[in-house]
């Protein structure tokens, strides 16, 4: 009994930043309830304080990355009876989620979105759920954290209370509930096969390998259904374009990167411990996601809907490194996610800044805006070629590393399946040029409907977008710092 109590106290001490994060969440909930009795001016001040509090509490995890957790980097720490596993990789992904969180809150502020206080509480709960997901190696804890993230996401999607939001929210909820049920059934099958909820242990790999391969593959695919749903990968992708079109852009920007990062980390840990060959199913998911995402995006006239289909294709690219089944592939995947963070946040910020002038997200509304504001025109060119994966942007470096890892795996294994996936990826990269280039084409080469009128976005908004553009180009010119950091992570 004393030993268990000592373990709980040790686990609580190690997870102190996350526990304090939860305390701040409760404080914000109390502050929101109290604000109902204040006048409008005081409420406005309080909400500004809430923004600062959220930023500080999310940024609190940064110090942990450099100091508090340093002693646990090498071997990792098993906490709360194998429910939580804390290592350098989970901390790195927490850093990605934290950057995305802070950037989205700044996005809300600089663009001028009016949100109620409950938004900050739900958003913090969503981030907290993602933090937990990055530290889990237990099916039960994974399901709880995934449901926490999903429920908060459902609420944020319908926050505007519009008709389109309601329709998108219902579709999101139905698909989410279905994928969640499929995942839970898959977990029950795996637990029956292996007798353990810890999916990274030797016991899980040993007992799973003793079952017929096709049964184990079905159980694994059902189990990762909930994860593929958050990743927007085929066949759990249908909700994506409708939700992206109807939901406020900052929320969409967050959903396009943060949950995907946490899901990819879980998949890295799961696939590293599998004792069965799951590559064929993953190859089908990858090729279907990349192809359906790109081909569907070709016909879109709404920028947010187009970026929604784009994220389906990028979900496929995120899984390419895992298909390589080597350490280089995993490192390439992490690098791709870390750099995609800046690209996708920049893309959604760009279309929001453009919508301030046009009050529309349709491509036709962008006519001539690049002539009215040269900076936004150049920014559109840089961001879109980064999404394609062309130099001189880090999007090129990310895809180059992924395809290099896949090619090395093909040479060592001789599997034609890997070569087919690589060809599909390269062809779809070429296809994506045709819809990504539409945005800068309309902005720069199309004549505005009512003459050229110079459009000023303001110093703060321009500076915020410039930060993303800097990292998109700088990480192409000098990726060694980020690559060295990723190589130092304990991935095996």
Task: Answer positive or negative: Cα dihedral of 65, 71, 76, 79.
Answer: negative
Give me the residues paired with residue 362 across strands. 302
Q: Which two tokens stand for residue 193?
A: 């096969």
Q: Is the peptide bond before 392 cis (omega within 30 degrees of 0)?
A: yes
**Nearest 5°: CA angle at 331, between 326 and 336?**
125
- Helical segments of 195-278, H only: 202-209, 213-223, 225-231, 240-246, 249-255, 258-273
SS3 per residue for 154-189: HHHHCCCCCHHHHHHHHHHHHHHHHHHHHHHHHHHH
Residue 25 · residue 18 · CB < 8 Å: no
Residue 201 · residue 195 · CB < 8 Å: no
pLDDT at 451: 57
Run of H or E residues at 79 = strand 77-79
Residues 336 and 429: their CA atoms lie apart, in Å, by 15
pLDDT at 64: 54
Neighbours of 72 (CB within 10 A): 15
Tally the C-alpha atoms within 13 A of residue 471's C-alpha that lie toward its C-beta: 17
Q: Which residues of 377-404 are buried (b: 16+ CB within 10 A; e: fewer)?
A: bebbbbbbbbbbbbeebbbbbbbebbbe
Task: Answer positive or negative: Cα dihedral of 391, 267, 155, 167.
Answer: positive
Run of H or E residues at 126 = helix 118-134
Residue 428 · residue 291 · CB < 8 Å: yes
* SS3 call for 318: helix
Query: Residue 156 — φ and ψ, nearest 5°?
Result: -65, -35
Nearest Cα residue to 315 out of 345, 285, 295? 285
Q: Which two tokens stand for residue 126?
A: 């969503």
Burial of 253 (0-12, 13-18, 19+ CB in 10 A): buried
Residues 259 and 406: their CA atoms lie apart, in Å, by 24
Q: Which residues contact 344 (CB under 8 A, 6 or more apart)?
A: 253, 256, 257, 307, 311, 314, 387
pLDDT in tens, 47-70: 665 666 666 566 555 555 555 555
pLDDT at 75: 62
Residues 52 and 108: their CA atoms lie apart, in Å, by 12
pLDDT in tens, 407-428: 998 888 878 888 999 998 899 9
Q: Which residues contact 290 (CB under 8 A, 6 or more apart)?
A: 313, 316, 317, 424, 425, 428
Residues 456 and 473: their CA atoms lie apart, in Å, by 24
Residues 490 and 89: their CA atoms lie apart, in Å, by 6
Q: Which residues contact 435 (CB under 8 A, 6 or more apart)?
A: 294, 297, 298, 300, 306, 310
Ramachandran region of residue 232, left (φ > 0), alpha (ψ -120 to 50) or beta?
A: left
Residues 342 and 473: their CA atoms lie apart, in Å, by 10
**Low-confidence stretches of the chain (pLDDT beneath 50):** none
State pTM to two decimals.
0.91
pLDDT at 35: 64
Torsion angle defined by CA atoms of residues 124, 18, 346 and 160, in that order, rounded to the nearest 10 degrees: -10
Nearest Cα residue to 263 out of 228, 298, 235, 294? 228
Chain centroid offset of residue 45 CA: 31
Residues 270 and 178: their CA atoms lie apart, in Å, by 22
Residue 258 · residue 127 · CB < 8 Å: yes
Q: Which two tokens stand for residue 403?
A: 């395809």
Tally the C-alpha atoms within 13 A of residue 286's C-alpha that lie toward its C-beta: 26
């Amino acid at each position: 009994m004393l030993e268990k109590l000592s373990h709980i106290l040790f686990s609580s001490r190690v997870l102190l930043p996350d526990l304090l994060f939860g305390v701040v969440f409760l404080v914000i909930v109390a502050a929101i309830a109290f604000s109902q009795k204040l006048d409008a001016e005081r409420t406005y001040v309080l909400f500004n304080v809430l923004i600062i509090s959220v930023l500080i509490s999310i940024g609190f995890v940064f110090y942990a990355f450099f100091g508090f957790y340093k002693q646990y980097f090498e071997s990792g720490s098993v906490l709360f009876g194998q429910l939580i596993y804390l290592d350098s990789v989970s901390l790195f992904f927490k850093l990605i989620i934290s950057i995305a969180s802070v950037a989205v809150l700044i996005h809300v502020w600089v663009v001028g979105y009016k949100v109620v206080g409950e938004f900050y509480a739900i958003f913090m709960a969503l981030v907290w759920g993602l933090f937990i997901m990055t530290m889990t190696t237990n099916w039960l804890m994974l399901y709880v954290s995934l449901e926490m993230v999903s429920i908060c996401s459902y609420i944020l999607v319908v926050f505007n209370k519009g008709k389109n939001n309601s329709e998108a929210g219902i579709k999101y909820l139905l698909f989410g509930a279905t994928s969640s049920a499929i995942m839970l059934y898959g977990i029950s099958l795996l637990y029956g096969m292996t007798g353990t909820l810890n999916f990274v242990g030797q016991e899980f790999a040993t007992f799973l390998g003793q079952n017929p391969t096709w049964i184990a593959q079905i159980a694994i695919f059902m189990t990762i259904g909930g994860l593929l749903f958050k990743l927007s990968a085929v066949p759990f992708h249908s909700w994506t374009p409708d939700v992206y079109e109807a939901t406020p852009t900052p929320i969409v920007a967050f959903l396009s990167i943060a949950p995907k990062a946490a899901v990819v980390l879980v998949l890295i840990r799961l696939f590293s411990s599998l004792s069965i060959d799951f590559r064929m199913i993953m190859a089908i998911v990858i090729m279907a996601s990349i192809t359906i995402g790109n081909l569907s995006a070709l016909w879109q006239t709404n920028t947010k809907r187009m970026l929604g289909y784009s994220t389906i294709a990028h979900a496929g690219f995120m899984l390419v490194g895992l298909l390589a089944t080597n350490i280089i592939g995993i490192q390439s995947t992490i690098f791709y996610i870390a750099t995609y963070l800046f690209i996708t946040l920049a893309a959604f910020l760009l279309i929001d800044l453009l919508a301030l002038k046009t009050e529309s997200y349709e491509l036709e509304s962008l006519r001539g805006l690049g002539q009215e504001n040269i900076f936004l025109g150049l920014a559109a060119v840089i961001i879109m070629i980064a999404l394609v994966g062309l130099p001189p942007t880090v999007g090129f470096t990310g895809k180059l590393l992924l395809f290099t890892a896949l090619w090395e795996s093909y040479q060592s294994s001789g599997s034609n399946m890997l070569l087919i996936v690589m060809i599909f990826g390269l062809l779809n990269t070429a296809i994506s040029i045709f819809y990504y280039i539409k945005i800068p084409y309309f902005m720069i080469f199309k004549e505005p409907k009512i003459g050229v009128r110079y459009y000023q976005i303001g110093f703060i908004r321009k500076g915020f977008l410039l930060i993303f553009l800097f990292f998109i180009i700088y990480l192409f010119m000098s990726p060694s710092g980020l690559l060295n950091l990723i190589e130092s992570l304990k991935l095996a």
